[in-house]
């Protein structure tokens, strides 16, 4: 079977598209038509009767460069070093080939799990220098047409702690990295850090992403300042914030004011529930703070919210796996999101909302759009999340890039 289908086209027959049983015709890499009972002449027909058809999953916040290193360290324990400290030490020994091999495994798994677009962080600092970037660039080239991979030049160690990070970030942007990523809580002066990132992003004309508000201390809050700066500098819609854990620790009235500012600044929020649940709340004996941002309240306020995998098999999330459908289940548990409309919304968080957060155009299940799709072995979003349904077909730009199946044999009487 040619990966582009007979005559260059696929017809997905009888899938559940936007809640109804419809066909999807794909030709020349694009969604040609959506509707019931389409003529299959000239297409290779795939029977996907009553299977959920979604636009391809989008990972918006993920760290392939530090994936699969949990076996190189003992991990988190009471009174022990933080995940940041553990990984910073390991990073010094990363080589280009080492990063390449681990990151490639992440990409292959992500594709297998229905991911058609990924925006990944790549760390630049005195410890790893440009070795991670070199490896990720190689993957970008190799996977062209299979996974759209864009990169964020990311300052995991802050920008005032060594003499090279600021230059490395600028050099990366000059050489074409498309997004700039800050991490205010890694520097003592968070506002100076934020200001530097806004100034640099404006100078290069690139969007900004911050790892923001990782603490349970309201005094460490920065998302309100970032929102003010976003508006003052006219960058509305071009700033994404990962984490926002501190929101969960604010008094309700204060939280509502911050959320309103985020909405006004058109900031995109990317929650990373698996990492928060592993890392946060380890010091508080009285009440275990779980650190996942307020997904439901952000939604109610009209803020664009996405979720993403973040860490894969490292001290931040030793059981992390690049499967957006798994993140949807984790978010459902962490955010009390179990009603049918909430479960349906969770799939938006790894598809359309995620695409919006990173400014993806030409995306979604509509005629004329690029044919990036995933077919799940489920009839509804609730069933897909509950059963962690298999991704039967993954189609990227009209090409089948993954085909998955599960075999179950139930040997019971009757
Ligand atoms: Zn992250």
List per-residue pLDDT tens for the chain, 414 residues long.
Answer: 447 676 679 999 999 999 999 999 999 999 999 999 999 999 999 999 999 999 999 999 999 999 999 999 988 888 899 999 999 999 999 999 999 999 999 999 999 999 999 999 999 999 999 999 999 999 999 999 999 999 999 999 999 999 999 999 999 999 999 999 999 999 999 999 999 999 999 999 999 999 999 999 999 999 999 999 999 999 999 999 999 999 999 999 999 999 999 999 999 999 999 999 999 888 766 778 889 999 999 999 999 999 999 999 999 999 999 999 999 999 999 999 989 999 999 999 999 999 999 999 999 999 999 999 999 999 999 999 999 999 999 999 999 999 999 998 988 887
Confidence at residue 297, expressed as pLDDT on a 0 to 100 scale: 95
Q: Which residues have a Cβ under 8 Å from the Cβ of 80 and sit 6 or more positions away?
A: 74
* pLDDT of amino acid 1: 45
Distance 245 CA to ligand 1 centre (A): 12
- 288 vs 277: CA distance, rounded Å: 10
Under 8 Å between Cβ of 292 and 273: yes
Task: Output the pTM of the full model.
Answer: 0.94
What pLDDT is attached to residue 285? 67
303 Cα–ligand 1 center, Å: 20
| Spacing, Cα 154 to ligand 1 middle (Å) | 9
pLDDT attached to residue 12? 98
Give the per-residue pLDDT at 6.
Answer: 66
Residue 79, pLDDT score: 86
Give the Å distance between the CA of 63 and the centre of ligand 1.
6
Distance from residue 242's CA to the centre of ligand 1 (Å): 7
Report the separation in Å between the CA atom of 67 and the middle of ligand 1, taken as the mean of its atom positions: 11
Q: Tell me how far the alpha carbon of residue 118 lies from the centroid of ligand 1, in angstroms.
A: 13
Distance from Cα 136 to the centre of ligand 1, integer Å: 16
For ligand 1, the distance from its centroid to the CA atom of residue 337, given in whole angstroms, is 23
For residue 288, what pLDDT is reported? 80
Residue 120 CA, ligand 1 centroid: distance in Å: 9
Please give the distance, rounded to the nearest whole angstrom, from the Cα atom of residue 270 to the centre of ligand 1. Answer: 10
Q: What are the angstrom distances between the C-alpha of 158 and each of 31, 49, 91?
A: 43, 51, 15
Span from the CA of 310 to the centroid of ligand 1 (angstroms): 5
């Amino acid at each position: 079977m040619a990966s582009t289908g007979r005559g260059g086209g696929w017809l997905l027959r009888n899938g559940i598209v936007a809640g109804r049983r419809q066909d999807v015709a794909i030709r020349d890499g694009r969604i040609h038509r959506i509707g019931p009972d389409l003529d299959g002449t000239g297409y290779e027909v795939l029977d996907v009767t009553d299977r959920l058809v979604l636009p391809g999953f989008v990972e918006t916040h993920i760290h392939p460069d530090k994936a699969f290193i949990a076996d190189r360290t003992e991990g988190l324990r009471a009174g022990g070093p933080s995940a940041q400290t553990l990984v910073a030490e390991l990073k010094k020994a990363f080589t280009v080939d080492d990063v390449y091999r681990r990151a490639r495994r992440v990409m292959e798994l992500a594709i297998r799990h229905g991911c058609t677009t990924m925006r990944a962080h790549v760390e630049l600092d005195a410890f790893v220098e440009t070795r991670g970037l070199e490896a990720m660039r190689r993957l970008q080239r190799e996977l062209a047409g299979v996974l759209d991979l864009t990169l964020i030049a990311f300052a995991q160690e802050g920008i005032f702690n060594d003499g090279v990070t600021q230059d490395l970030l600028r050099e990366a942007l000059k050489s074409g990295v498309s997004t700039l990523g800050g991490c205010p809580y890694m520097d003592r002066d968070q506002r100076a850090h934020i200001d530097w990132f806004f100034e640099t992003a404006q100078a290069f004309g690139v969007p900004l992403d911050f790892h923001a508000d990782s603490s349970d201390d309201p005094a460490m809050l920065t998302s309100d300042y970032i929102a003010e700066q976003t508006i003052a500098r006219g960058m509305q819609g071009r700033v994404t914030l990962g984490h926002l854990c501190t929101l969960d620790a604010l008094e309700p009235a204060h939280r509502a004011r911050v959320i309103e500012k985020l909405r006004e600044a058109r900031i995109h929020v990317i929650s990373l529930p698996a990492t928060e649940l592993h890392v946060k709340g380890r010091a508080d004996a009285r009440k275990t703070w779980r650190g996942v941002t307020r997904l439901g309240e952000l939604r109610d306020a009209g803020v664009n919210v996405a979720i993403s995998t973040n860490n894969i098999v490292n001290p931040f999330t030793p059981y992390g796996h690049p499967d957006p459908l798994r993140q949807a289940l984790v978010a459902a548990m962490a955010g009390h999101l179990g009603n049918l409309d909430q479960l349906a919304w969770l799939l938006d968080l790894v598809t359309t909302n995620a695409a919006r957060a990173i400014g993806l155009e030409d995306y979604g299940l509509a005629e004329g759009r690029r044919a990036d799709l995933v077919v799940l072995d489920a009839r509804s979003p609730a069933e897909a999340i509950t059963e962690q349904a298999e991704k039967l077909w993954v189609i990227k730009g009209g090409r089948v890039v993954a085909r998955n199946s599960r075999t179950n044999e139930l040997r019971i009487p009757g």
